Structure 1
Amino acid sequence: MTQMPPPFVPGAFVGTAHHYRARVYFEDTDLSGIVYHANYLRFMERARSDMLRLAGIDQRAAMEAGEGAWAVTDLSIKYRRPARLDDDLLVVSTVEAVRGASVIIAQRILRGHDTLSPETLTDGQVTAAFLSPGGRPRRQPDDWVGRFTAIMNGENFPC
């Protein structure tokens, strides 16, 4: 009988931060074995998506109900050190601010997160706005504002 692998784990909240692990695969790298610059954004996007899902924010349901969708409206990133093939990375995401129609999330990608001196590879900050199906800014659901506020305050919230 074949044993099934454990279920997918979308990261976890540690205090006010969401921790998401990622591994660097060959497809993430360029010919030199270093992660291609745009792929850091992919790691960050996956971490943010799983953070929202874990917090009980159902983006798909909002889209399907015609309420709207998130769109990145501002992004800054600083590359400090390169990630390489087979690196075990940790993406740490924190909600910095929540407004009626947007949220600001800071993200850091670390290598050696299980050591006493992890290396910061990348720092980023993303502003995501909630948009109506017509593409106009729209207040995000009140429940979502409450969930983001709970994350910022390190509070437990219903998932």
Structure 2
Amino acid sequence: MNSDNVYRLPIRIYYEDTDFSGVVYHAAYLKFFERGRTEALRACGVHHSELLAREEPLAFAVRKMTTEWLVPAKIDDLLEVRTRFVAAKGARMILDQEIWRDEVLLARAEVEAACMALSGRPRRLPEDVVSRFFS
């Protein structure tokens, strides 16, 4: 994490991310957002494997995502996924994410993720995890 509490992840656009015209297929952005969230967690010291190894194994699941696509990305573009933790309360955390190409905002998402036991039932976010999001 940097001083503005935004984690930045570079993403290169490959042929597999695009449609026949070289434009990024809309569902590919969901993968980019997912990678951004995972790497932001990792930068905070929260690793999925460690959550799964706890006495009560935990995982995150996206509960709700609002997305907006503004400008298309194209093959060979170098993008930056920016992820910021906004809130964490109870079993939920809220993140804001943006995808940029240079100084152009291409897409954004507001994500609500839930902390869950492997049974699928919600679990309160552990305090030792939450404290890492905003430090």
Bigger fraction of residues in strand: 2
- Is the CA contact (8 Å cut-off) linking 2:63 and 2:114 kept in structure 1? yes
The corresponding residue for 1:104 is 94
| Cα distance change, pair 14–40 in 1 and its aligned pair in 2 (3 A) | farther
What is the number of residues matched between the two proteins? 134
Larger radius of gyration: 1
The 1-side partners of 2:98 and 2:51 are apart by: 28
The 1-side partners of 2:45 and 2:90 are apart by: 18
* TM value normalised by structure 1: 0.80
Which letter does structure 2 place at the counterpart of 1:133? L
> Is 1:77 aligned with 2:62?
no
Percent identity of paired positions between Structure 1 and Structure 2: 38
* TM value normalised by structure 2: 0.94
The 1-side partners of 2:18 and 2:80 are apart by: 17
The 1-side partners of 2:42 and 2:114 are apart by: 17
Structure 2 unmatched runs, 5+:
none
The 1-side partners of 2:50 and 2:94 are apart by: 22
> Is 1:36 aligned with 2:21?
no
Return structure 1 stretches of 4+ with deviation > 6 angstroms. Answer: none
Structure 1 unmatched runs, 5+:
1-11, 113-117, 151-159
Q: CA RMSD in A?
A: 1.2
3-state SS of the aligned residue for 1:13?
coil
The corresponding residue for 1:115 is none
CA drift of 1:14 comes to 4.4
| Cα distance change, pair 22–52 in 1 and its aligned pair in 2 (3 A) | same
3-state SS of the aligned residue for 2:120?
coil
The corresponding residue for 1:133 is 118
